[in-house]
């Protein structure tokens, strides 16, 4: 017989006390919906100190609901996924699960809606690798995506294990590790089926804009262009009689970057 909502909640409350462990529930929800995350990322998501997050995660690890994936990254354990499935049975909430379902191919698993977290990182890392042939700075990429470096490194290693990417070299530039990555044949075959990646591959204004602004994402490039315009226009107006030959090329650069940003945005839709 199907359990009622009351029965399920009573069973869940025996595992994680609702009244005293709100923070633990917040962490479980984040790990279930976003997938493996670092303590820093969880802390920023729910606006709580990292120390409190670490203490709460330690309790969840003791209860065998959460497990350490790698470095500072944690995910739901088998018991945690089982717990979340019980919530799903009455509330119909999907849990992130990196394992293949029965009857699903490898491609279907990566493209499945339950793997939105993997899909997000797959698309963004693929874009960065495709455009930046010189190498990828995880610190810079993580900053532009708004995630922790540890989380980004975890997904890069995950996709390398799935033979979608391959790290062919690593160098240090200004105390930052730059990873030289390439898409493997399996990755190309999969990504070329995704409309978002195809749009990016054919979006020449976007590629040029990212190169000129030294950015990994369109959002960051637009921020830099907007900043350049906001600084340039007042300076051009104030020093218009003193700039001489510099004024015209400067003005053309402002107009060119603005138009490039607009076309990159339009072709990305």
109-134: per-residue pLDDT in tens?
444 434 566 777 887 888 888 777 66
Are residues 153 and 74 part of one domain?
no
Q: Which of 4-18, 52-66, 157-171 has the lowest mean pLDDT?
A: 4-18
Are residues 136 and 165 part of one domain?
yes
**Where does a domain end: 57, 91, 125?**
91
What value does the mean pLDDT of the chain take?
A: 76
**What is the CATH classification number for the domain harbouring 28?**
1.10.10.10
Give pLDDT, residue 144. Answer: 82
Residue 204 lies in a domain: no
Predicted TM-score (pTM) of the model is 0.55
Residue 14 lies in a domain: yes
Q: Are strands 66-70 and 165-173 parallel, antiparallel or unpaired?
A: unpaired
Tokens of 156: 């890069």
Render the burial of 51-73: b for 16+ CB within 10 Å, e for the rest.
eebeebbeebeebebbbebeebb
Give the model confidence (pLDDT) of 34-83 as tens digits: 788 888 888 888 878 888 889 889 888 988 889 988 878 898 888 888 87
Boundaries of domain holding 16:
5-91
> Long-range CB contacts (< 8 A, 24+ apart) of 89-98?
89/2, 89/3, 89/8, 90/3, 90/4, 90/5, 90/8, 90/9, 93/32, 93/33, 94/33, 95/32, 95/33, 96/31, 96/32, 96/33, 96/34, 96/35, 98/35, 98/158
Give pLDDT, residue 173. Answer: 62
* Statement: residue 26 has pLDDT above 70: yes
Contact 18, 10 (CB under 8 A): no
Give pLDDT, residue 226. Answer: 92
Residue 199 lies in a domain: no
Give pLDDT, residue 225. Answer: 92
Residue 96 lies in a domain: no
Domain total in the chain: 3
Query: Band of the pLDDT at 99, cuts 50, 70, 90?
Result: very low
Residue 203 lies in a domain: no
């Amino acid at each position: 017989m199907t359990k009622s909502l009351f029965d399920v909640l009573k069973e869940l409350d025996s595992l994680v006390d609702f009244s005293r462990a709100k923070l633990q529930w917040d962490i479980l929800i984040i790990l279930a919906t976003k997938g493996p995350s670092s303590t820093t990322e969880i802390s920023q998501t729910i606006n709580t100190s990292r120390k409190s997050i670490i203490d709460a995660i330690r309790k969840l690890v003791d209860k065998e609901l959460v497990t350490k994936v790698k470095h500072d990254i944690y995910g739901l354990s088998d018991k945690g996924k089982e717990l979340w499935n019980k919530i799903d049975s009455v509330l119909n909430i999907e849990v992130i699960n990196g394992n293949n379902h029965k009857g699903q191919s490898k491609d279907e698993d990566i493209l499945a809606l339950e793997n939105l977290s993997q899909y997000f990182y797959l698309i963004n890392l693929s874009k960065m690798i495709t455009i930046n042939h010189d190498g990828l700075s995880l610190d810079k990429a993580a900053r532009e995506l708004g995630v922790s470096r540890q989380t980004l490194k975890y997904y890069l290693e995950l996709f390398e294990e799935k033979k979608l990417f391959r790290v062919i070299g690593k160098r240090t530039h200004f105390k930052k590790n730059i990873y030289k990555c390439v898409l493997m044949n399996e990755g190309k075959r999969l990504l070329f089926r995704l409309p978002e990646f195809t749009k990016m591959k054919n979006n020449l204004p976007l590629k040029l804009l990212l190169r000129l602004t030294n950015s990994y994402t369109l959002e960051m490039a637009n921020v830099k262009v907007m900043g350049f315009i906001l600084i340039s226009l007042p300076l051009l107006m104030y020093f218009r009689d003193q700039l001489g030959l510099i004024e015209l090329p400067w003005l053309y650069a402002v107009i060119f970057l603005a138009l490039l940003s607009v076309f990159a945005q339009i072709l990305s839709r």
